[in-house]
């Protein structure tokens, strides 16, 4: 699932291409992707894009007149940009948005269709999509600590809960916890102040560094390789490969549709997380699917 660094770079590339421009045509290829009927998607045709911005992992196109298009890529949704009108691959394409500058195509690989498009009118309607997660890059250490300890969960669950923190998912939570040298199963209620401060620094550094890396990779182009698995990552997706810090083989936790990678030497004092204890803990604390938890729209966290 594209997370804060990937979504930020998408937003910046889209801002350069469509902000200040008019949506000429909206084409829905797969009807399931459109999750709203009021206002009609066609009502946005002819409207000027005021700005493109990020809301958690969602990408929002805000039009004049406080009308909004909210797109959630979920696991396999991606954007492609075409300077000339493309021939749509109906096996992958979900929708296309044509501007005078080019055409944005929303695609989704695989058979599970989870990406979504919502159109809404009014800023109050848009606010309903805000899960309430803290924007850590804008937060103080005290605000981060308060939010982290507001509920008792494993660190992995807390970081990936969109009601608690904005834009962090499975991949970057692994990288953050490795950088902070903390176990993914450490409970937030038992985290001491030095560890909390270290985690705060790791979140900010990891998200900022990866955003800068992806910006440099994209340049003035359009993001073409948005993936949760990158060779430069320390632990995510690197099961059995050597940890770049200590050389120990990266370990893996699997539960339902979820997977977490960690280094036992760096994060758990050399201890492998026991399956029997682990399965009981995960059953109590982890949702069966992080993407489904992120997809749910509900009231913002107070």
Encode pLDDT of 197-212 as tens digits: 999 999 999 999 999 9
Distance of alpha carbon 187 from alpha carbon 64, whole angstroms: 45
CB 140 within 8 A of CB 167: no
Stretches in the chain below the pLDDT threshold 70: 256-257, 274-302
Q: Quick one: 213 exposed, middle or buried, by C-beta within 10 A (0-12, 13-18, 19+)?
A: middle
Distance of alpha carbon 117 from alpha carbon 129, whole angstroms: 12
Domains of the chain: which residue ranges? 4-127, 136-295
3-state SS of 130-162? Answer: CCCCECHHHCCHHHHHHHHCCCCCEHHHHHHCC
Q: Is 34 helix (H, G, I), strand (E, B) or coil?
A: strand
77-82 sheet: strands from edge to edge: 23-28, 93-99, 102-108, 77-82
CB 89 within 8 A of CB 124: no
Per-residue pLDDT, 302? 41
Per-residue pLDDT, 275? 55
What's the fold here for domain 4-127?
N-terminal domain of MutM-like DNA repair proteins (3.20.190)
CATH class of 136-295: mainly alpha
Backbone angles phi, psi at 205, to 5 degrees: -65, -45
Neighbours of 212 (CB within 10 A): 12
Per-residue pLDDT, 271? 87
Cis ω before 144 (30° cut-off from 0)? no
pTM: 0.91
* Cα–Cα separations (whole angstroms), residue 47 to 33, 75, 191: 21, 29, 49
Per-residue pLDDT, 110? 82
Distance of alpha carbon 207 from alpha carbon 202, whole angstroms: 8
């Amino acid at each position: 699932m594209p997370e804060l660094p990937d979504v930020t770079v998408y937003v910046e590339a889209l801002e350069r291409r469509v902000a200040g421009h008019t949506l000429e045509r909206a084409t829905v290829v797969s009807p399931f992707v459109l999750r709203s009927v009021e206002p009609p998607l066609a009502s946005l045709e002819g409207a000027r894009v005021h700005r493109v911005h990020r809301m958690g992992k969602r990408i929002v196109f805000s039009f004049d007149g406080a009308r909004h298009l909210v797109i959630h890529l979920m696991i396999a949704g991606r954007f492609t940009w075409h300077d000339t009108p493309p021939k749509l691959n109906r096996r992958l394409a979900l929708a296309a948005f044509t501007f005078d500058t080019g055409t944005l195509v929303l695609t989704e690989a695989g058979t599970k269709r989870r990406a979504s498009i919502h159109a809404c009118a009014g800023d109050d309607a848009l606010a309903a999509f805000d899960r309430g997660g803290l924007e850590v890059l804008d937060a103080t250490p005290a605000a981060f600590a308060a939010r982290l300890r507001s509920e008792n969960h494993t660190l992995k669950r807390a970081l990936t809960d969109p009601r608690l923190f904005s834009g962090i998912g499975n991949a970057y939570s692994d990288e953050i916890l490795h950088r902070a040298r903390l176990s993914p199963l450490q409970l937030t209620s038992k985290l001491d102040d030095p560890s909390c401060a270290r985690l705060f620094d790791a979140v900010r550094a990891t998200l900022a560094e990866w955003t800068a890396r992806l910006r440099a990779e994209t340049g003035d182009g359009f993001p073409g390789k948005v993936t949760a698995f990158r060779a430069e990552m320390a632990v995510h997706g690197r099961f059995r490969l050597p940890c770049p810090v200590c050389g120990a083989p990266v370990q893996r936790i699997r539960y339902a549709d979820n997977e977490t990678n960690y280094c036992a030497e760096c994060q758990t004092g050399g201890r492998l997380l026991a399956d029997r204890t682990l399965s009981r803990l995960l059953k109590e604390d982890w949702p069966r699917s992080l993407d489904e938890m992120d997809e749910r729209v509900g009231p913002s966290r107070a």
